[in-house]
Structure 1
């Protein structure tokens, strides 16, 4: 059956029609290289700078502080490695969390192999860090704190404003991976004292392969990619004008619609969560009950495997995820679910349903009709469930 209900928007989103329309002229009509000086190139340059302004306004930054990248993972790499190299003489200690995206965790592993010390802060059962843990982790040679704005699997929103205020007080650079948050929750880099912020276009209706990194004008960082003077020598390579234009348009639209869309999605999310919890016994909500992304529903079901749920949901035309899209297919349980204290067998039974503008109340009703049947069917085939029922 073809997919008719898409609930994996945390993995990627469809390109919005308005965004696609904005892109099209820059494939065929205004195709010039923005680094050149003739008329076609000037149109490309103008469009790129307009998009830079759109992105900056979406997070309360200035256009000069926005650097376009190839996506969220590149932005994360550029942030961490750029700061590590630029501030190596000041210190080699970095603080992050156990639940970061692998773009952060794997970059930290690379830095550890090159002489840096990394502190991985734990989180509580709802996925939040403790400010006291953060304060206790700071050392005289701490140069960077990197804490994600909102988790891609369980949707928990971290205390970003408090972290930013603390980092500023201590004179430590603060980076946040806001790939899941930009366009979905209010962000103002000055009010939150954020020094660097990563974002990705395909999480909010722009195409894959485009992202941006905000770098506060007072922060030094080294380039990740060499070979040209583009992006003020921070990121070499001929600019992807069509996708840059798309990112600007997508951020502008998402921010303009945020208040209305947040209320709508929160209502749908809460209906989905409460419906599942009421109809299906032996399940647990993962993540914070209220401080979570408006479209995120992540629930662990006892006695079954997440992969089985995905296959049966797909048979009904429902697309979902059993964890981060970057780790799907792995037999290891999600590092995020392990960090919040789930046992292996329960972590394997997690299901993430992530809503966005494409979803309706009818979609939620259909999932609430089919999911209890799927869970019951899988449990009837599960020896773990059979044993649990005998013990009851």
Structure 2
């Protein structure tokens, strides 16, 4: 395996050079050919093709060849940072060395002819709340007579435990959830009632996929982030705002969040984002020692939110207050263990401008200020709506790389 340079050699794969899926990207996914009973296995995307890694690794008799035959990235995740880097260097070499072309080219499949699976088995799922702009907006909407931020917000990355079993891959339909929500009372204040959510929303987020595990009682400092996090993917934490508003005091989100979380089918390796590293916007007051980070702790990733094919927002991840290294450090500071396949997410990404808000709650200011999409005024999601999140970041070759997109369509409630 030859080392990958800062600027990889040009790829021989037709149409990939200079694209959003050049060799400075190479995200991993789990795929199977469409309309086929072939077992799912691990591949990397280059251009508009997927490289089936299992037969190539077997032909080269790689010691880790078996991990590419699995219907999940979890065996690869468990290998740790040294193996992740070596596998990436090997894949780059295969796709840039003309001498490897005869071996590799028969195992390149068009993206349009494969079906992506959930890329990893989700062990645990934690969602954070790390955008200052989003947290401030939500505070003003939900608690208009109170301070937007609670006293703890600038001292620690606030989060909650989600439901791993309802994390689904992009393209999976999202059923409108039912639950308790307040409705106007006939002769008095609002009363709780049961029924489908009428304020269904999205949350534009970046998810982080954990590989290397830890033992119970072990902590991961901010400097250990890259040793434990394999890669990233866009994530949509669907939210039923009416159910959430009634249930979240005093213990936080529950049924308003746990019905579905959608993730992209491609996991971008952390190393592919080296050129996207940026400083955090600034933290005041200075965090406690275990949360301190140096320069380059943030990421310059630009999101795009599409509602039924129309762009309605462009949230900038570079504006996030808390870094992913701080999220992981706080997640484990009490000794909570990590497992391969753990997923933690940033919380909604929102910027300072209205067009940078990463949720419909913010775009419509709680439903009181509709935004325009499809030539009409909109607030929350309607049955049949399709939401797509896209993201790009600077790449090592001087252009941009794409993260896998995540899409979901709202299905009517049942029961």
TM-score, scaled to structure 1: 0.24
More helix by share: 1
TM-score, scaled to structure 2: 0.23
More strand by share: 2
